[in-house]
């Protein structure tokens, strides 16, 4: 009985903590000028770094868990919203993700009803130049950037990396631990490093 009361107390404290963090994160989004729809809920400690000319839009019914072991797969890892000058992040309706890193140097577009598993990284740039001589000079050390598009109803498994220029077609599934370097068509299962189509769903 004592143990049961303890567990109930812990669960109650976690619910209160999550609710408070949701209000706090919503306030932070508003301060950054992020446009969001109804029921935008972020539980945990989210890292946000948006350059002044960056644009972030989030649709209705958005859920993001970030650290605090809200999602057991992610332990205490924090999610990230990072967008550089003039970059865009657009997220549709009914999207869920856990401890995800969204790094936009140009544009990341996520459609409706998308689920992104724990600890995934979506990065639309090489971040550093492939030419070692250019990498020596920090003020010019930006790599190639190309937009990422995640179409409607996509499911991305835990610990995936989605790289620049990739489009994942509607309703496709990306297997856990995949590194997606090239576009994936609609209605298929893809996986591996680099990710390849494993099975057609229809």
pLDDT digits (tens, 9 = 90+) for 96-147: 999 999 999 999 999 999 999 999 999 999 888 888 888 787 766 677 899 9
pTM: 0.90
Is it true that the peptide bond before 194 is cis, omega within 30 degrees of 0?
yes
Q: Are strands 161-162 and 121-123 parallel, antiparallel or unpaired?
A: parallel
User: What 8-state DSSP symbol labels residue 79?
Assistant: P
Mean pLDDT for 32-45 is 93
Question: Residue 139 forms beta bridges with which residues?
Answer: none
Q: What are 10-24's pLDDT values in tens digits?
A: 676 777 777 888 889
Dist. CA 42–CA 60, nearest whole Å? 13
Domains of the chain: 2-200 (2.160.10.10)
């Amino acid at each position: 009985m004592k143990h049961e009361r303890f567990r109930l107390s812990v669960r109650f404290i976690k619910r209160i903590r999550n609710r408070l963090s949701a209000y706090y994160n919503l306030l932070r989004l508003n301060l950054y000028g992020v446009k969001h729809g109804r029921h935008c809920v972020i539980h945990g400690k989210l890292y946000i770094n948006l350059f002044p000319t960056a644009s972030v839009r989030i649709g209705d019914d958005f859920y993001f868990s970030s650290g605090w072991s809200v999602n057991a797969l992610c332990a205490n890892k924090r999610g990230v919203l990072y967008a550089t000058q003039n970059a865009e992040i657009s997220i549709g309706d009914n999207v869920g993700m856990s401890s995800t890193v969204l790094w936009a140097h140009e544009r990341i577009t996520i459609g409706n009803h998308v689920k992104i598993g724990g600890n995934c990284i979506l990065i639309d740039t090489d971040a550093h130049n492939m030419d070692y001589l250019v990498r020596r000079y920090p003020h010019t050390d930006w790599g190639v950037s190309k937009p990422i598009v995640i179409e409607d109803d996509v499911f991305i498994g835990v610990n995936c990396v989605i790289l620049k220029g990739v489009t994942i077609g509607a309703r496709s599934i990306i297997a856990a631990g995949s590194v997606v370097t090239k576009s994936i068509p609609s209605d298929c299962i893809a996986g591996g490093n680099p990710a390849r189509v494993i099975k057609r769903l229809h």
